[in-house]
């Protein structure tokens, strides 16, 4: 599974990095999160923690006064103990309200692709004996809805680092055939958006 994940992220990195680096002034967003299988908006924090990490970027969109609308892409990994681990790629449309104080109200609507692998050993009967089943992974669609709040460290700087907390609800489909067609999940993200690349204009 680790071998497959490595190639998954390598492929996505090769596809995204030329676009990101060519733009120069695009941000990088990094977050760690705790995932749980729960109904939407019924819980903020779950125990035990099922960890995950997400890396992405946002592209130039449209702004009108304090409102900013933009597309974003993300890559991530999550580990749910005794259930599954997975890698995913998603696209989102974000709508942010940026107050002059530095506070940002954030919302996102997205969809993505999730590849999961069981974290348990599974067996299947073969010729009257139980043998280990090879896990080739499960392919899922993962629509998502996110709300949260951020704070820009330098409110007057459009390239300011922003710290944020996001509450994300997403659906895993298909989950278990006709028995359980979909499963709802909640991710609580803590992260930062920053600008590590030099804008293109500075080279001209």
Whether residue 19 has pLDDT greater than 80: no
Mean pLDDT of 62-69: 93
Q: Binning pLDDT at 50, 70 and 90, where does residue 102 land?
A: very high
Q: Answer yes or no: are the C-beta atoms of 48 and 37 closer than 8 Å.
A: no
Q: Which residues pair with 93 in a beta bridge?
A: 71, 109
14-18, 50-54, 189-193: least confidently modelled range = 14-18
Q: Answer yes or no: are the C-beta atoms of 147 and 162 closer than 8 Å.
A: no
1-15, 48-62, 128-142: least confidently modelled range = 1-15
pLDDT value at position 6? 52
SS3 breakdown of the chain: % helix, strand, coil, rounded to 5? 15, 55, 30
Whether residue 7 has pLDDT greater than 60: no
pLDDT value at position 81? 85
Q: What is the SS3 string spanning 72-102?
A: EEEEEEEEECCCEEEEEEEEEEEEEEECCCC
Percent of the chain with pLDDT over 70: 78
Which helix (H) or strand (E) is 5 found in, with range? helix 2-23
Q: Which residue has the higher pLDDT, 146 or 4?
A: 146
Q: Which residues pair with 203 in a beta bridge?
A: none
The pTM for the full model equals 0.81
pLDDT value at position 97? 97
Per the prediction, the chain carries an average pLDDT of 84
Q: Answer yes or no: are the C-beta atoms of 142 and 88 closer than 8 Å.
A: yes
What is the token pair recorded at 10?
């390598």
What is the token pair recorded at 24?
């120069």
33-47, 92-106, 144-158: least confidently modelled range = 33-47
Query: Largest alpha-carbon pair distance within the chain?
Result: 72
Whether residue 203 has pLDDT greater than 60: no
pLDDT value at position 123? 58
Mean pLDDT of 5-27: 55
Per residue in 130-139, pLDDT (tens digit) is 666 676 788 9
Per residue in 31-58, pLDDT (tens digit) is 999 999 887 777 777 788 999 999 999 9
Mean pLDDT of 163-167: 97
pLDDT value at position 10? 53
């Amino acid at each position: 599974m680790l071998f497959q994940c490595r190639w998954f992220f390598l492929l996505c990195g090769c596809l995204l990095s030329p676009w990101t680096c060519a733009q120069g002034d695009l941000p990088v967003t990094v977050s760690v999160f705790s995932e749980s299988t729960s109904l939407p908006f019924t819980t903020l924090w779950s125990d035990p923690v099922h960890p995950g990490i997400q890396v992405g970027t946002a592209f130039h969109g449209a702004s009108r006064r304090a409102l900013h609308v933009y597309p974003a892409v993300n890559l991530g990994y999550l580990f749910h103990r005794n259930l599954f681990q997975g890698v995913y790629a998603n696209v989102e449309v974000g709508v942010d309200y940026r107050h002059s104080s530095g506070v940002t109200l954030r919302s996102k609507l997205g969809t993505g692709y999730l590849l999961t692998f069981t974290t348990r050993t599974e067996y299947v009967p073969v010729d009257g004996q139980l043998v280990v089943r090879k896990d080739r992974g499960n392919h899922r669609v993962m629509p998502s809805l996110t709300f949260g709040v951020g704070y820009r460290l330098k409110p007057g700087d459009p390239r300011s680092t922003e710290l944020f907390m996001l509450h994300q609800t997403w659906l895993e489909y298909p989950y278990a055939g006709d028995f359980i067609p979909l499963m709802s999940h909640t991710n609580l993200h803590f992260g930062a958006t920053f600008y590590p690349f030099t804008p293109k204009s500075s080279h001209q």
